[in-house]
Amino acid sequence: MRKKIFIPLILVAIVLLAWTRFSTPVNHNFSADASKDKLLMELITYFMQRGHFSPKIINNDLSEDLHATFLELLDGQKRYFLKKDIVQFERYKYALDDEFRSLNTDFFDLAYARYLQRRGEAKLFYAELLEKPFDYAKKEEINLDYEEQDYPLTVRQRTEKWRKQLKFSTLNIVQGKLEEEQKTAEKDESYLPKSFDELEAEAREITRENLENYFSLMEDVREEDWFGTYLNAFVSQFDPHSVYFAPVDKDRFDASMSGKYEGIGARLTKRNQAIKIVEVISGGPLWRDQSIDVGDQIMMVRQEEGDPVDVQSMRLDDAIELIKGPAGTTVYLTIKKVDGTVEEVAIDRDTVVMEEAYLKSTVIEKAGRSYGLIHLPKFYVDFKDYKERNAAKDMQQEIIRLKKQGVQGLVIDLRNNGGGSLQTVVDMAGFFIDEGPVVQVKSTSEKSKVLKDKDGKTLWEGPLVLMVNELSASASEILAAAMQDYERAVVLGSKQTFGKGTVQNVLELNRFVSKSTYGDLGALKYTTDKFYRITGKSTQLEGVKSDVVAPDRYAYVDIGEKDEENPLVWDQIASASFSKWDGYKNYKDVIQKSSDRIATNELFQLIDKNAKWIKSQQDKSVFSLNYSTFSSEIEKDESVVEKFEVLDDYRNSLSFSSLPYERAKMKADTILMEKRKRWKKALNEDMYLDEAVHILEDLELNFIPSKPLALQQN
């Protein structure tokens, strides 16, 4: 199986992130007279072998995987290379380990030169294929499962492969144009829709322009950029989170960690030759627009002026260049939703409003009782000064405020929380227990450490529910695991969380070459530590399994750590010493009652059916190139989607009110007021939150809690 490479636009916050010193003494004189490429090979090989948590032996097995990975990155759709090229490359299949040890670039040089040659050949024939209309009455198909295909044997086979791909691209554009014409005609009875032939000619022209733009962009990609890709193919063999940052990528990483985002506010990856949304940044344009979700695929990008550009076959960085842009401008994205439907969405680029990346809270009212909800989008911190604003400090303050309102239970929403600072997790867990271990951390060169809460105080001693999903990762999993192991909270959500139980650190490579004349060498992000629950079990791969499992649309989609390439293994260490919290009378009974309630809920059952259908759509790889069949399949998909629209009509019976300090803010800030109105509207449509409140209603304490203000000074 070919390797999948994930190259992020904006990286999820990294637990324990630091521009760190290498933990192992560097007793090595790096080549001072080597070329920049060879020096980078030497540096990266050295640090990955000596600093990585689970270093791999650089042998024939790694060589074979690296060989396959780089060829996929060069030509994943198998539309450039011929079979005879691959046969020629085969002699390096088990030699790349030797090349890295001897700082030899023969394979890269050959593959890159041949790629340029074959790409140049493609430029000569694609225009001819687009000169006349395709035969849409012909019964033929295209298979987009490139992993299962072989490379074309002949030039004729390669040309035929291109013909089908161009026809498929044109067919998608035609279908979109036909739908636009139909909508226009419905709004304006005097409008005369264009004919299929007219729209087909326009679509072919757009396809041709897309390819011209693509080849123009590719001309700007330098050899050193492709060598950086080759180095990343090597680094990715160790685990999916280790990355070599070329200087431009390091600058982008620096910007992402500074909390300043300008663009659409998303993290993108290229997976299976498709560019997909893997994270929507809180406070960004996509987050505010709510029309694009994690898992959606970006097919085309259109600027305010001009035709859409097909980005499906582009390098991720090139697609990003088209998507990003100055705040205040608009970009139009043709999106293939996770359910298979296709639509164009207009997104106003902007700078992420960082206030929305901080936690926020509301009081929930139901049947004369009140509960608190705290939404935590990430475990944020100022790494330069922990005493500044951070997630734990804000959580403490918000709990005190909610206690003043007399809330009788607390929900913490960790859904889509990708992680952040480890220290904030430890501090936060301490708000819900008197004292004890929170997490164990095992590093590359040290024995495991137990991080504990030691203050002997509990800030919130009432009923507690944590909400999670498949995108709750890293630090989110630490908090959920600790609360679950103590039986302090009921964890409600997906079958399991993301399963990222590793920590990465970042090395600036220039520091290890004295008086470097090579310019900026970039940086290496590599995995140095693993998390373990207080029970000793790792969160790696397995994540945290919810106490109460509620179906969601991502239930069957490949979206977690276990679905990535080369993840580190699950393992177990000794348990830390701890005692379970004994504050509930009916902890296990409540979990069973909630599970039974979900199992008999018709809407949750419908969500599960929707999730299974989404999975079937994502697994589909063969598409008809006959227009009649193609169109009928789209209509069939749309009719299936309509069956699930009842889910959009759901409303719970909860009511929400902002805390007094925020109400005062909203009087002077109408934008904040509008944001909170929209958030509360979304909460009213949230059946998972409704179930969380049910759990709080059912949980009974076996002691009398302190008065709301008794622990205000904690």
Type and span of the H or E element at 63:
helix 60-75
* Final residue before a domain boundary, out of 320, 351, 382: 351
pLDDT score at 259 = 42
pLDDT score at 363 = 98
| DSSP E strand stretches across 349-470 | 350-351, 360-366, 369-375, 410-413, 436-443, 449-453, 464-468
CA–CA distance, 283 with 416 (Å, rounded to integer): 13
* Final residue before a domain boundary, out of 295, 324, 351: 351
Instruction: Judge if 226 and 295 occupy the same domain.
Output: no
| C-beta of residue 394 within 8 angstroms of C-beta of residue 452 | no
Instruction: Judge if 291 and 162 occupy the same domain.
Output: no
CA–CA distance, 309 with 208 (Å, rounded to integer): 10
Instruction: Judge if 338 and 362 occupy the same domain.
Output: no
| C-beta of residue 422 within 8 angstroms of C-beta of residue 397 | no
* Final residue before a domain boundary, out of 351, 371, 386: 351
pLDDT score at 382 = 73
Instruction: Judge if 289 and 209 occupy the same domain.
Output: no
Give percent above pLDDT 70 in the chain: 89
> If you ran DSSP here, which 8-state letter would residue 360 be given?
E
CA–CA distance, 116 with 341 (Å, rounded to integer): 35
- Domains identified in the chain, total number: 3
Instruction: Judge if 290 and 404 occupy the same domain.
Output: no
Structure confidence by residue, pLDDT tens digits, 579-625: 999 999 999 999 999 999 999 999 999 999 999 999 998 889 999 99
CA–CA distance, 638 with 339 (Å, rounded to integer): 9
Locate 35 and state its tokens. Answer: 């070329």
pLDDT score at 256 = 46
pLDDT at residue 272 above 90?
A: no
Q: Tell me the pLDDT band of 714, cut-offs 50, 70 and 90.
A: very low
Lowest mean pLDDT among 106-120, 167-181, 241-255, 378-392: 241-255
Query: What's the whole-number mean pLDDT along residues 286-295?
Result: 80
Instruction: Judge if 369 and 504 occupy the same domain.
Output: yes
Instruction: Judge if 215 and 303 occupy the same domain.
Output: no
Amino acid at 470: E
Smallest Cα–Cα separation from 608: which of 600, 654, 337? 600
Locate 180 and state its tokens. Answer: 């636009």
Residue 39: inside a domain, yes or no? no
Residue 681: inside a domain, yes or no? no
Report the CATH number that the domain containing residue 393 is assigned in CATH: 3.90.226.10
Residue 191: inside a domain, yes or no? yes
**Cα–Cα–Cα angle for 204, 270, 520, rounded to 5 degrees:** 115
Instruction: Judge if 308 and 213 occupy the same domain.
Output: no
Residue 671: inside a domain, yes or no? no
| C-beta of residue 574 within 8 angstroms of C-beta of residue 437 | no
C-alpha distances (whole Å) from 231 to each of 69, 194, 218 are: 11, 50, 19
Residue listed under structure tokens 């849409």: 136
Given the DSSP bridges, would you call strands 243-245 and 655-657 parallel, antiparallel or unpaired?
unpaired
CA–CA distance, 163 with 126 (Å, rounded to integer): 8
Instruction: Judge if 318 and 396 occupy the same domain.
Output: no
pLDDT at residue 14 above 60?
A: no
Instruction: Judge if 297 and 225 occupy the same domain.
Output: no
> If you ran DSSP here, which 8-state letter would residue 10 be given?
S
Query: What's the whole-number mean pLDDT along residues 93-102?
Result: 97
Residue 30: inside a domain, yes or no? no
Q: Tell me the pLDDT band of 273, cut-offs 50, 70 and 90.
A: low
Residue 644: inside a domain, yes or no? no
Report the CATH number that the domain containing residue 270 is assigned in CATH: 2.30.42.10
> What's the domain range around 473?
354-597+653-659+687-698
Structure confidence by residue, pLDDT tens digits, 421-471: 889 999 999 999 999 999 999 987 778 899 999 988 999 999 999 999 999
Locate 126 and state its tokens. Answer: 């694609």
Q: How far from the centroid of its chain's Cα atoms is residue 643's Cα? A: 28
CA–CA distance, 440 with 452 (Å, rounded to integer): 9
| C-beta of residue 597 within 8 angstroms of C-beta of residue 492 | no
Residue 707: inside a domain, yes or no? no
Residue 587: inside a domain, yes or no? yes
CA–CA distance, 72 with 573 (Å, rounded to integer): 37
Lowest mean pLDDT among 77-81, 191-195, 388-392, 412-416: 388-392
Instruction: Judge if 529 and 540 occupy the same domain.
Output: yes
Instruction: Judge if 436 and 579 occupy the same domain.
Output: yes
Helix (H/G/I), strand (E/B), else coil: 254? helix
